[in-house]
Structure 1
Amino acid sequence: MSTQTAPRSVPRIATSVLLVAAGLFAVRQLVSGWRLGASMRLGEDGDISVYIGAINYLKSGGALYDYPLGCGYGFTYPPFSAIVLRPLTWLSPLTTGKVWLTLCVVIAVAVAALVVASRSWPTSTLARLTVLGLGVGLFLGSSQVQSDLITGQVNLVLALLVILDVGRYVPDRLRGVLVGLAAAIKLTPMVVWGWYALTRQWRALAASVGTFAACVVLAWVVLPSDSRRFWTDAVLDTSRVGDVELRFNSSVMGVLARAGVDGTTRSVLWLLLGGALVLLAFWNAERCRRAGDHVASAVLLGCAAVVATPIAWPHHQIWLPLAGIVLALRTPWLPRVLGLAILVFCYLHIPITEWSDAHGTGWFVDNIDVAMFVGICLLGLAPGASTRSISEPSPPSTRSPSGRRSPSAR
């Protein structure tokens, strides 16, 4: 009996050790991520200080989009976001920064956990918990998430809203609402509307646009002059966000600008290339949706927003490590290898960049991120069914000559 039991216990012991190691890795990244953000004196520095300063400026009688451009930047989001972010001014800036940082770390854990939990591989409980720890740790340790944490950005919050909505974690009657809310805070989630329309998800589109419109109307009633200023002027002023040619802008516009393309030619190429990539991402997202993998659809749409927007800084690129998690947990070996490569690159992005700068190849590394986003939009995320059972309308069925019912091809 003992000779038969011992060999079976070895893999279980090894898996348990890996589970503990993965858990410690996740905790380590959680703590180090929080400490890194706290070391930046969030609230007094970073993008969150712009939110706080602009809203305080508004409360004192100033115009939201006239807020003094500290560090060269001003308030760039729609007026509704100033209403939503108003609680940031209730406490001292440093206290607010720590509270916001803690919230963002918790949301980052939730986002990674939702993506990992939606995968169908591995199957054993211990292995899945191990993968969960590794996924959370790699996501928190990625340069993209760390960039979000040290600036106090809102991108993790928006990613959570989009994943909950498109990933079907909300009731069907509420689908589209969270995407509309996210778009009212920051415009980039509006890319999902195009996918809704092309795939004829009319109810979700109506709910999303309706939620967005309600938020815009509310902001117009509360902040009429600022709303008029934003929708007629500030929304078109990309210089408020930064220079498009800067090295870490991983959008199509950024690549064209760094290549020396400018003026009308750059705008036309951006629309053509960016539009083509977005359409391909829509097609791949629909393939995932039809396979029942709605979370992968959400990640693809997030990647499409990155390549299509004029400016995509590292904190906008949190969708890249999420795409790596999706690919790494596919069954075929090739997506797994590609996913692991993406995750390792995201985790080691800073040392890789420092090494490449020292060896004169920084220009090459600067464009690897956008190349990965382009590849994801072109090739998709290897669609496959997820573990979550989502209620979809039953496909039409046919009956065989023997009278047995057979489902039609999906």
Structure 2
Amino acid sequence: MLLIVVAGLVAARHLVSDWRLAASGNLGPDGDISVYIGAINFLNSGGALYDYPLEGGYGFTYPPFASIVLQPLTWADPRTTGLSWMTACIAIGIVVVALVVASRPWPTSVVGRFVVLGLAVGLFFGSVEVQSDLITGQVNLVLALLVVLDVGRFVPDRFRGVLVGLAAAIKLTPMIVWGWFFVTRQWRALAISVGTFVGCGLLAWVVLPSDSRRFWTEAVFDTGRVGDVELRFNSSVMGVLARAGLDGATRSVLWLLLGGVLVLAAYWNARRARRAGDHVAAAIILGCAAVIATPIAWPHHQIWLPLAGIVLATRTRWLPQVLGLVVLGFAYLHIVITRWSDAHGTGWFFDNIDFAMFAAVCVLGLAPGRPTSTPTSDRTPLMVDQ
């Protein structure tokens, strides 16, 4: 019982700390939630969604359907909206962690599970990735919940694919799951997911025809709207290549080649996890692949890394447990480590550690156990069993 109390206090401490930290910063002019609110208000006043802001700065980068879904953010004053959104995201983050812990076979005791849940919540919300997400008011925790629920099989099979399609309609990165549906021959889930995405896009086209046309013919290709790819903490393949001094066609080709190899490796390892019955681990591997495959992946996009650490730390073998604790420790102490490395002239090395960890998850997987069965939809020559 004492262990449960201690774990609960660890979780509560970080939840309160994150709430206070985000409350002090998530409504600044550079916060993503401020961009959401400003762009939608600009749209509602007759402006073009992708012209915001006219004076320069960060603009709306998501598909037009996202502006429809996010309309409620403009229904109250910005302060109330920010606090409500942040509170909802914290609750969603707790649910995501609870789903991950609930899917683990270890520990087996009720007390052990409550202890692990409390510690996992504390480490997850103590990570720089989650804190960054809450401070900026991003949507990534919501998208992570949709993907984990869908790929993790927490929804009935007949609805599988709907939540991934909805998430992709809000922000394109969850589309990476479609490739996995394809190589594992999950045809029904693929069709439902793509159909949901297309349906959402058609709805946005009817409501916002000019903005939809502009997004799909222009804005979607403009990565500069998100930020400069060579900046530190962009943990995608593109970011690493840019910081290495590559540009132009060379960088684009290498990005496609290296990114493609890592995504295929992630598909293979996600399939291994699925065959072992660990659907949540498969979802997290795919989330990690999306981070490094996209041109720009800021810390608030990287919430999949501490989730991967939780999965590894709750394996029954000692090596995955140690690796998981290393990942969680790095995410938890990220700011301290970065300051130390900058002071000692090794910032260039630690700027790419995040990418290396994401790449390792894609290439090595999350230590699945033995296959529990061989799903019919997995019997495909496109992938090789291990």
Range into which the TM-score falls when normalised by the shorter chain: over 0.9
What amino acid is aligned across from residue 350 of structure 1 in structure 2?
I
In the TM superposition, what whole-angstrom CA distance separates every residue of 1:294-321 from its partner, at most 9, and x where no partner exists? 0000000000001100000000000000
Cα separation, partners in 2 of 1:168 and 1:260, compared to 1, 3 Å? same
Contact 2:275 2:375 in 1 (8 A): no
Q: Distance in 1 between matches of 2:378 and 2:299?
A: 41
**Secondary structure of the structure 1 residue equivalent to 2:211:** helix
**Secondary structure of the structure 2 residue equivalent to 1:247:** coil
Contact 1:323 1:339 in 2 (8 A): yes
**Secondary structure of the structure 2 residue equivalent to 1:103:** helix
Q: 2:183 aligns with which of 182, 195, 198?
A: 198
Provide the residue aligned with 2:170 in structure 1.
185
Provide the residue aligned with 2:203 in structure 1.
218
Provide the residue aligned with 1:67 in structure 2.
52
Q: 2:62 aligns with which of 77, 87, 102?
A: 77
Provide the residue aligned with 1:272 in structure 2.
257
Contact 1:41 1:94 in 2 (8 A): no
Task: Determine what percentage of the aligned residue pairs are the same residue.
Answer: 75
Q: Distance in 2 between matches of 1:77 and 1:186?
A: 6
Q: Distance in 2 between matches of 1:172 and 1:43?
A: 42
Q: Does 1:109 align with 2:94?
A: yes
Provide the residue aligned with 2:382 in structure 1.
none
Q: Does 1:382 align with 2:367?
A: yes
Note the 1:9-408 alignment, pairs <5 A: 16-42=1-27, 45-68=30-53, 72-384=57-369
Q: Distance in 2 between matches of 1:362 and 1:69?
A: 35
**Secondary structure of the structure 1 residue equivalent to 2:345:** coil
What amino acid is aligned across from residue 179 of structure 1 in structure 2?
V
Shift in Å at residue 332 of structure 1?
1.1
Cα separation, partners in 2 of 1:294 and 1:395, compared to 1, 3 Å? closer
Contact 1:50 1:70 in 2 (8 A): no
What amino acid is aligned across from residue 149 of structure 1 in structure 2?
L
List gaps (5 residues or longer) in structure 1: 1-15, 397-408
**Secondary structure of the structure 1 residue equivalent to 2:261:** helix
Q: Distance in 1 between matches of 2:280 and 2:305?
A: 14
What amino acid is aligned across from residue 165 of structure 1 in structure 2?
D
Matched residue count: 381
Root-mean-square deviation (CA, aligned residues, Å) is 2.0
Provide the residue aligned with 1:406 in structure 2.
none
Q: Distance in 1 between matches of 2:251 and 2:272?
A: 31
Q: Distance in 2 between matches of 1:69 and 1:394?
A: 50
**TM-score, scaled relative to structure 2:** 0.95
Shift in Å at residue 358 of structure 1?
1.2
In the TM superposition, what whole-angstrom CA distance separates every residue of 1:86-106 from its partner, at most 9, and x where no partner exists? 000000011100000000100
Shift in Å at residue 390 of structure 1?
11
In the TM superposition, what whole-angstrom CA distance separates every residue of 1:58-116 from its partner, at most 9, and x where no partner exists? 00000000011677210000000000000000000111000000001001111111111
What amino acid is aligned across from residue 364 of structure 1 in structure 2?
F
Cα separation, partners in 2 of 1:82 and 1:109, compared to 1, 3 Å? same
Greater mean deviation of Cα atoms: 39-48 or 59-68? 39-48
Contact 2:184 2:378 in 1 (8 A): no
Shift in Å at residue 42 of structure 1?
2.1
Cα separation, partners in 2 of 1:41 and 1:294, compared to 1, 3 Å? closer
Q: Distance in 2 between matches of 1:87 and 1:394?
A: 40
In the TM superposition, what whole-angstrom CA distance separates every residue of 1:238-280 from its partner, at most 9, and x where no partner exists? 0000000000100000000000011000000000000000000
Shift in Å at residue 19 of structure 1?
1.5
